[in-house]
Structure formats: C-alpha cells, structure tokens
A and B are shown apart, each in its own frame.
Chain A
Amino acid sequence: MIPKGLLYTKDHEWAKIEGDIAVIGITDHAQNQLGELTFVELPDVGKEVKQKGELAVVESSKAASDVYSPVTGKVVEVNKALQTKPETVNDECYGSGWICKIQITDKGSVQNLIDATQYEIYLKAL
C-alpha cells in the first residue's frame, strides 16, 4: 500500500527524489481522510518554498487542508490536469495524482524525510 521508493512526511505528503527534482503528492492515508477532492489549489511555478512551508491546498466538499512542502526548493512544474480533474488525487495519489515538482535547493532538507517503513509505523501509531 505504501510505495517503497518514496520518502514521506508526518503531514502525509510524499516526495519522489529524481536527481535534484522532487515530485510531490499526498499519501493514500491523506486522500482517504479528506474524501473526494473537489479542488486543488496549485502553487505558482517559480514559487520558492521552505520545507514544511505552505505549498498547495487540497479541498473536498467538507474540508480544506494545506499541503506542506516536503523539501526546500523552487516549484518548477505543476500538475495542471488536477485543475479539471482533482479526483485524480483520490484515484492515483502516488501516480497521475502528483501535485508539483520542486527543484531542491537545500539537499539537507531531504534528510528530514522518512522512508516507507518508518511512515507505515508512524501511521499505525496514529
């Protein structure tokens, strides 16, 4: 259920590190808690974010949550498909439901993330 190759935050975001680019999304646990998404407020390309800084907003019919950036860097691409089909996040949160790509400017920030096993243990303890 929790993909092995990704890194996670305790706020239920995931990051897939590809060189100095991190692909960002929210976890299955997060999408499940929110229910069917009705809107994703994507960041502007070029926005500089700090780790744990506000990155995006995911909204369902009865809740809205901030998505915090797992890494420090600059937004280089956003998943525009979510503008018309936000429910993709529910259907494929680790795949086509990705939110944005960040060029990592502080490699150290990646060290703070947890791996799939640690995230699984964390979830079980919730």
Chain B
Amino acid sequence: MPFIANTAEQQKQMLSEIGLTMDKLFSDIPKGLLAGSLNLPDGLPEQEVRNVLADLADKNSINLTLFLGGGFYDHFIPSAVYSIISRSEFYTAYTPYQPEVSQGTLQAIYEYQSTICRLTDMEVANASIYDGGTAMYEAMMMALRITGRNKVIIDDSVNPIYRVMIESYTRNLKIEHVLTHCETGLVDRDQILAKLNNDTAAVILQNPNFFGCIDDFSDIAEAAHKKGALLIVSSYPISLGILKTPGSMGADIVTGEGQSLGMPMSFGGPYLGFMATRMEHVRKMPGRIIGRTKDRNGNDCFVMTLQAREQHIRREKATSNICSNEALCAMTALVYLSLLGKEGLRETAQLCADKASYAYNRLTAIPGVKSHFKARWFFNEFVLDLPKDAADVIGKLIEKGFAAGFPLSRYYPDMKNCILVCVTEKRTKQQIGMFAEALESVL
C-alpha cells in the first residue's frame, strides 16, 4: 500500500476537480529537483520481507564491547527506566496538543526542566529539543538575537558533528563563523581573545571537549562578557556529577546531548537536546517551557508558559521553528536521574573517570601507543596516538569483538593515527585488560 493511500483513479478525480494536471500541480518545483523514479523494489510477502530484514540486521556487529564515545555514550540503564516510561500515561512523543489537560505530563516536563537547571547550575531550562547539535544551533541563534550581532567564535574541540550541523543550518544566513584551533587539548585562550571583539555574539565551547579534555571556561566567560558577547557551553550531563558546572563558570547558555541520561545508543536517535539559560534571556530562548502556577482554587498546577515566543503565535518572528519537544526522551532523562539520585550520579561520573584513568594507564603502557596530548585532564575519553592508521586498527578490532573508539581522522585530517577511546562505568577491569591485549595484537 502506498504511503498516501489514493489510487490513480482517485488522483485523476481530484485533479479534474481542481482543473489541473499532475505536472501543473508541481510546476513551482524546478524540474531538476523533482524526484524521478523512487527506485523501489516490488512488494514481497511478509515472510520474505522478514527474511530480507533479518539478513540486513545480521550484517551489524552486535555484542561488541564498546570503547566508542564521541558524543554518545554506553551507560548502564536500570530496567526500571523502561518500566516507568512505558506506562501508557507517559508514553507520548511530544507535549500534548491540549497540554493543560495532561497535568501529569506537564509536571514531568517541569521536573525534567528543574533537573536540567540543577545539573547545569542555570536558572531556566526548556522542555527539550531534538538533540545536542540542534540545541547548540538554537543557542547560537539565540545569542544572535540577544546581542544583535552576527559573528560567532567556535572552537574545533567542539563536537565536529555539531559543527557540521551548524554549518548546514546557517549556510544561507549572514553569519560569520570564526573557527579557533585546539592544539593542546585545552582551548587556546590567546586565539579566542584575539578574535573576540564588539561584533562577537557568542563563543561556543564544549566541556569535556570532543577530545575528552576538561577545562574551566570562567576566564573566557569573563572576557566574552566584557565585549558584550555570550558564552555557550555544550556539556556531557553525566560528567556534571563531578565536574565544575557551566553555570558556575559563567556560561550564558548551556546545551548538550542528553542521550547519556538513560537512552540507548542508536542510529539517528531519538535523542535529547537540552538547553538552559539565565532568566534574563528566557524570552529569547526557543522551545516549550512548562511553568508551575495556581489554578482558580489555589491548587498547584502546570501550564505551558511564554508561548508568545513560539511559532503558533509569533509566526515568522518566533524564536525557532521548533515548537515541540522530545517529551518521551525528556521523561527518560528525568526517570533515570531520579533513580540514580544525587549520590548515584556522582558515583557514576566518578566510576567513569576512574575506569578511564585505569584504561589510559593500561593502554599507554603498550609499546608504540602514546597519549596524544601532554595534559592528562580528561573525564572518560582520551586521545591515543597509534603507530598505524587508526581507522584500520579499529576495523581489525571489530573482528575481535571491540568497538575500539572513534577514528579522529574522519573530522581532523591531521590526526590520521589518532583514536578517541571512551570508558564508561559499564566497562570492567577484565574488559579493559582484554581490550589492551587485543589492541597490542593488531599493532
């Protein structure tokens, strides 16, 4: 059955009713952009479709031991997370269309916003957006609105996938991107300060950065503020269990990918973009916000608030075209954080850091394997120099049952032999040992 279920006969009837042909109906679309044949195979019986799909699925390498991070992380997810979020009362993808009828959903989103504020040390969070990359793009656009400027400084230690997304979103906008280069693992202050001026809307950084290194951006926040610019920081939420918060560094907008908060890794998501700012900027922040208020009987209740910023009211002047949220993913993050609690989150973060440190020592003891950066300030990811092409090594280790890490040459051409290795609380000492042996054997 076709996706739009109408027959050729029905199409003909509809076209004759409005007095058009199919060609004329689509005449506004340039010929070169019209899809020709969709090149789809003929239909198959269900049983055969299942076989085809099973064969395709078999091509995936499953049950690999993961040392791969790079923005998405393999953390332990308590079973209770699924049990709670799959309750039918919670199981919805978006904020409901009659939001105030769904007080439970609104309360959950409100509590999610509160947890994001506490994690990041910021004053107000939105109800979530699509993913870490969109969140960063939206933060950048927000900074342009707040400052009325059009230049942003972004460091190349920011997740390259986010940077690609920002470039593609803004290709047709008049925004000047200034890329600074991270050489030592820590952001180069001199470069940033040299580029920072009265045209700068924002400095965009990440902590821990894409190479896993930890920094304190307080000095950059101060310098940016002196020039009337904002500091945008993308965070890895689990790391906030032990790291200095972006809020306490003086960040103006904090974003990040929330997948690590109870969501499995999967191609294309669904993922969770979180975003928080200070109260003074709340009207410039995109996305839904749930607020707590009193109903006419004086009882606590939850409402969608500040909707005048949004597309259905503000039309083309809305803060964003995003007028919804990732409600189920936000719910997942909330449930995950509630189950872990404050201590649990701290312990998880500490375990990640400790195990990564152990792995770093174990792996850099292998002859020919060296730490890429001199400084050893990482959270749970680090860059190693291998004696060979990292992508080849990673390929060989897949055969041995390991997803060894991220080949940095994919986005950093100069880092051909560099691998980004990630260790979460799920990795055992034994797994780390076996991984080290496997790595040594393929070098």
- Which B residues are in CB contact (< 8 Å) with A66? 317
Which of A38, A39, A60, A64 lies in contact with B314, CB distance below 8 A? Answer: A64
**Cβ–Cβ contact B283 & A63, under 8 A:** no
B34 at the interface (CB under 8 A from A): no
Which of B283, B313, B317 lies in contact with A39, CB distance below 8 A? Answer: B283
Nearest chain B CB to A48's CB is how many angstroms away? Answer: 13
Once the chains are docked, how many angstroms separate the CA of A66 from the CA of B307? 16
- Which A residues are in CB contact (< 8 Å) with B314? 64
- Which B residues are in CB contact (< 8 Å) with A59? 308
Which residue of A38, A60, A61 has the most chain B CB atoms within 10 A of its CB atom?
A: A61
A62 at the interface (CB under 8 A from B): yes
Judged by DSSP, the binding face of B is helix
Within 8 A of A (CB), among B287-321: 307-309, 313-314, 317
A41 at the interface (CB under 8 A from B): yes
Nearest chain B CB to A50's CB is how many angstroms away? Answer: 17
Which residue of B307, B308, B313, B314 has the most chain A CB atoms within 10 A of its CB atom?
A: B308
- Which B residues are in CB contact (< 8 Å) with A41? 283
Residue of A nearest to B148 (CB): A44
Nearest chain B CB to A64's CB is how many angstroms away? Answer: 4
- Which B residues are in CB contact (< 8 Å) with A38? 308
Q: Mark A5-42, 1 if CB is under 8 A from B, else 0.
A: 00000000000000000000000000000000011010
- Which A residues are in CB contact (< 8 Å) with B309? 64
Q: Mark A56-83, 1 if CB is under 8 A from B, else 0.
A: 0001111110100000000000000000
Residue of B nearest to A47 (CB): B148
Nearest chain B CB to A70's CB is how many angstroms away? Answer: 20
Q: Mark B305-347, 1 if CB is under 8 A from A, else 0.
A: 0011100011001000000000000000000000000000000
Chain A residues within CB distance 8 Å of chain B: 38-39, 41, 59-64, 66
Other than the given A59-B308, A64-B314, 6 more pairs (CB < 8 A) read A39-B283, A41-B283, A62-B313, A63-B308, A64-B308, A64-B313
